Amino acid sequence: MKEVDPWPRPLPARAKMLGQRVSLEPLQRRHGLELFEAARGADESFAYLSYGPFSTRGEMDGFIARHMALPGAAFWAVRPVTSGRASGWLSLMNIEPENAAIELGNIWFGPALQRTRAATEAMFLLLRHAADELGYRRLVWKCNALNTASRRAAERLGFAYEGTLRAHMVVKGRERDTAMYSITAEEWPARRDAVLAWMAEENFDAEGNARQRLATFRI
């Protein structure tokens, strides 16, 4: 077995993060209206999450109040530069400082944010924070095994499929199988460099379409 640095990793800082196309802001009460508007008419986007959809602003505010200061997770609202409005959220969760393991999860992006450079950058900012700034050796992604969009996103970012935990959870009264993915410390530098190369301006044409797919940049 390989020896590793056993020193516990720091917890993620609930601080603002700035990218080229998105800013991540610690989830707060002030995001309620914008997030409620981003979720309006997007009920299907909550199909595989344990919460939502939200029929009233009060329900959205309740979600934020419950999740903005969870002791075992850190949530950020996602604000794309193009719109200037909070359009989704994501978190670092299931944090194991002593094992240097951390999960990118609880990801919800409104329709206008989905499948954009801003969405990719939002996820990348947290992965880079966890791996490069905090030194976590194991980055985790898990999702409902039926959630093909989430599975494609994990694979696109370079997460390796580890297997499926059968009858793993009960979500909204239904049994859930959970697909497990990870990126290890040895794999991370290549994954990081691939995302950076994909996000570079020269990879996009005047209409904002990528010239090459992200997978083509991975070794």
- Note whether residue 164 is domain-resident: yes
CB-based burial of residue 166 (10 Å sphere; 0-12 exposed, 13-18 middle, 19+ buried)?
A: exposed
Number of domains in the chain: 1
What is the domain range of residue 29? 17-203
Place of tokens 């950076």: 196
Does the N-terminal peptide bond of residue 53 adopt cis geometry, omega within 30 degrees of 0? yes
Structure tokens given for 192: 């990081």
The pLDDT-based confidence of 27 (bands split at 50, 70, 90) is very high
pLDDT of residue 219: 65
Q: What secondary structure does DSSP assign to 162-187, as a single string?
A: EEEEEEEEEETTEEEEEEEEEEETTT
Place of tokens 């850190």: 74
What is the per-residue pLDDT across 127-155, written as a single tens digit (0 to 9) for each? Answer: 999 999 999 999 999 999 999 999 999 99
Structure tokens given for 30: 């002030």
Mean pLDDT of the chain: 96
Is the pLDDT assigned to residue 206 strictly greater than 80? yes
Average pLDDT over residues 213-217: 91
The percentage of the chain sitting over the pLDDT mark of 70, rounded to a whole number, equals 100
Q: What is the CATH number of the domain that holds 54?
A: 3.40.630.30
- Note whether residue 213 is domain-resident: no
Average pLDDT over residues 169-198: 97
- Note whether residue 191 is domain-resident: yes
Average pLDDT over residues 27-52: 97
